[in-house]
Structure 1
Amino acid sequence: MRRFLAVLCAVILASSAEAKTLYYGGRAGMEVTIVKASGIGSSHARILTGHTRRNAIAFCRDYVGKVTEDCIAKELQTPLHLEITANCRTGKFTTLYGANMRFQGRNPDADATTDYLISDTDDDVVLDGSGASGYDYTLDQFKALCPNRVR
């Protein structure tokens, strides 16, 4: 019940027109609203988000091309972890999909397609920079948590 009330308050607070968003996917409109942030740049960085009706409407409008109640309802059912965390010192962080990741800093390979190395520690894979790997939005989530690590 306490978690439900916290999420409900987060969604209400997120309805502000000035609320910032964070992408959880590579398609237009795949974003959630940042509700609360704490410890940004520290070993205990946290961001709480809300997946709001406004976010769902943006996805339906910008990606699907048609805003319907069915589209909005389906988008709001996207299984997301609404809190992301990071230890900015070690580079370990979680994503909106619940994946455990590790930011490893600048890519030493000058010919690489990515500026930074990010590993999915659950699957023991380095993200390759492709849209399928989720590199861009994963990097953006880490940047939101640890802005001083990414320039």
Structure 2
Amino acid sequence: MRYVLLAISVVVLASPASARTLGYGSKAGMEVTIVKKSGINTSHASIQTKHTRQNAIGYCRDYVGKVTEDCIAKEMNTPLHLEITADCKSGKFTTFYGANMLFQGRSPDGSSTDYQITDTDENVVLDGSGASGYDYTLEQFKALCPKRVR
């Protein structure tokens, strides 16, 4: 009798609510490491992070294409707010860049985005383009308030 051992590889994609890192920008490797979550899905949601050397190496490798001490040092000096917060009931939240945002739920028909997010500092609705930061801003809100985004 012969037995065949079959190895199966399974890739599990972490949801923003359970991720160990969280994106702060649109370029590959722009991530910070989550160190603490509290009040997720409440009016006092908070995620505290740190920008680690490993995060910087990931950016240099994945986006710049070359890991050097100079690249790592520059990435480590990226000015970020390392805590993001949200009031999941009102939709108000902050980003790693310190911007104040408002999640307004599903976008109206004909919109280029699934959800409407307004930068309340600039009074501008994010249009879904890479330049607007829509994708990583939505990812941050999802991590804070996963029940609001399905």
Give the shorter-chain TM-score range.
0.7 to 0.9
Shift of 1:83: 0.2
Cα deviations by residue, 1:97-149 (Å, 9 ceiling, x for unpaired): 0000000000122x221000000000000000000000000000000000000
- Please tell me the root mean square deviation across aligned C-alpha atoms, in Å: 0.7
Whole-Å Cα distance in 2 between the matches of residues 92 and 27 of structure 1? 25
The higher-RCO structure (CA 8 Å, 6+ apart) is 2
Residue in 2 that maps onto 1:49: 49
C-alpha separation in 2, matches of 1:71 and 1:104: 37
Matching of residues 15-94 of structure 1 within 5 Å: 20-94=20-94
Aligned residue type for 2:121 = D
Residues 63-87 of structure 1 show CA distances to partners (whole Å, capped at 9, x for unaligned) of 0000000000000000000000000
CA distance in 2, matches of 1:58, 1:113: 31
Aligned equivalents of 1:113, 1:72: Cα separation in 2: 35
| Identity within the alignment, % | 77
Letter in structure 1 aligned against 2:112:
T
Please give the secondary structure, in 2, of the residue aligned with 1:128: coil
Structure 2: tracts of 5 or more residues without a match: 1-18
TM-score (norm 2): 0.87
| Max Rg structure | 2
Give the secondary structure class of the aligned counterpart of 2:61: helix
Moved over 2 A (4+): none
3-state SS in 2 of match to 1:47: strand
Kindly indicate whether residue 148 of structure 2 is the aligned counterpart of residue 149 of structure 1. Answer: yes
Corresponding residue for residue 101 of structure 1: 101
